[in-house]
Amino acid sequence: MKNLYRANVDTSTVDNLMSGTLMHVKVVTGTLMPNKGILQRGTLLTLAGAGYDVYTPETTSIRGILLNDIDTDDADEIIGAAIATSGEFNQNKIEEVMDIDVPNTDIYHARNRQIYIAPMNEAPEAFNP
């Protein structure tokens, strides 16, 4: 099991993955395909057999968004991953995490599944007098 420990756990920063004003209607736990390395929060997922796999533009079917960093090389971590299956998400953050440009047609089809992906400006820094 890889150590995903993070120092300064008592601090937080806005990662700008969530956007809009809608509550995330549904979060499910799912099984991820193994041996994909560490998947970051914000990774787009598609269905693959009895679980979820990493989305690619060739799959053209966005079915969820990973909500936690997961090490898929660890068999214990791929079971029970938190996956948002609806809500509003920042396209800029997703494309940064995935290192791809998500085609507009795939974003359009994701809306039919209540997954809304659109570019969003970064949240401003908190006021600190």
Considering all CA atoms of the chain, what is the largest pairwise distance in Å, rounded to the nearest integer?
A: 53
Two structure tokens written together for 86? 């609806």
Per-residue pLDDT reduced to its tens digit, 5-60:
777 766 656 678 888 776 666 889 999 999 999 999 999 999 988 899 999 999 87
Where do the domains of the chain lie? 27-118
CATH homologous superfamily of domain 27-118?
Head decoration protein D (2.40.300.10)
- Whole-model pTM: value is 0.82
CA atoms within 13 A on the CB side of 1: 8
Token pair recorded at residue 55 = 């989305």
CA distance 30 to 126: 35
